[in-house]
Amino acid sequence: MAGDKNGDCENDIVGKIKHKLAGDKNGEFDSDIVGKNKQKMAGDKNVECDNDIVGKNKQKIAGDKNIECDNDIVGKNKPKMAGDKNGECDNDIVGKIKQKMAGDKNSECDNDIVGKIKQKMAGEKNGKCDNDIVGKIKQKMASDKNVECNNDIVGKIKQKMASDKNGECDNDIVGKIKQKMAGDKNVECDNDIVGKIKQKMASDKN
């Protein structure tokens, strides 16, 4: 994931997962987790979210200036409320109620995938993403202008710190340490999730 103008995050988790995260003007969230999921989330002006994770129909309604996301992943109804300028995303994947609060200008994303309560706090101009996929508490801290992503997928604690203008992404999915360094205007993330160390360096503008 990247909080830049063009940065993307691409994750290939078990050979069929496609995970892309971006907090930009045109970024999207694409997730294919069990070979039939399509997840797209973005806090932009025109982005929409469609999630069909375990073969359930996903409905999408937009009547505002900015579309909002409702996810019903294992057949539970997901309510959607929005009173802000930008849509927000709430995911309830295994039937747990997911609460969503937003007081900023940009939307935020919270994912609770295996029934653990995931809290989300944002006081900045840009949304932040926190993912807790197998029930581990994932902490997220951001003091920059750009979004940051932290993913803890198989119970390993992944810490992420960013003090630059551009967000950085750190993913530890099957217990391997993923290092990422970015000092440019546009950061990109490459993750090899099934135990290979993937290093990424970017020195260009794009």
The per-residue pLDDT for 45 is 31
Q: 6: exposed, middle or buried (C-beta count within 10 Å: 0-12, 13-18, 19+)?
A: middle
Q: What percent of the chain has pLDDT over 90?
A: 0
Yes or no: say if 145 and 126 are a contact pair by the CB < 8 Å rule. yes
Indicate the pairing of strand 129-132 with strand 109-112. Answer: parallel
Among residues 106, 115, 112, 103, which one has the least CA distance to residue 130?
A: 112
pLDDT, tens digit, 9 for 90 and up, residues 91-139: 433 333 333 333 333 334 444 333 333 333 333 333 344 444 333 333 3
The Cα–Cα gap between 66 and 118 comes to 24
Higher per-residue pLDDT: 132 or 206 = 132
Looking at residue 143, its pLDDT comes to 34
* 162-178 mean pLDDT: 36
Residue-wise pLDDT for 15-58, tens only, equals 333 333 333 333 333 333 333 333 333 333 333 333 333 333 33
Pairing of strands 169-172, 149-152: parallel
- Which residues, in sequence order, are CB contacts of 38 under 8 Å at separation 6+? 30, 31, 32, 50, 51, 52
Two tokens, residue 193: 């999730």
How many whole angstroms from its chain centre is CA 86?
Answer: 16
- The pairing of strands 189-192 and 30-31 is unpaired
Structure tokens of 3?
A: 């909080």
CB count in 10 Å sphere of residue 12: 16
For the segment 174-196, the average pLDDT, to the nearest whole number, is 35
- Check: CB of residue 189 under 8 Å from CB of residue 2: yes
pLDDT tier, 90 (very low <50, low <70, confident <90, very high otherwise): very low
pLDDT at 176: 34
**Ramachandran assignment for 178, one of left (phi > 0), alpha (psi -120 to 50 degrees), beta (any other):** beta
Residue 138's pLDDT is: 37
Summary mean pLDDT of the chain: 35
Only one residue has tokens 């003007």, namely: 25
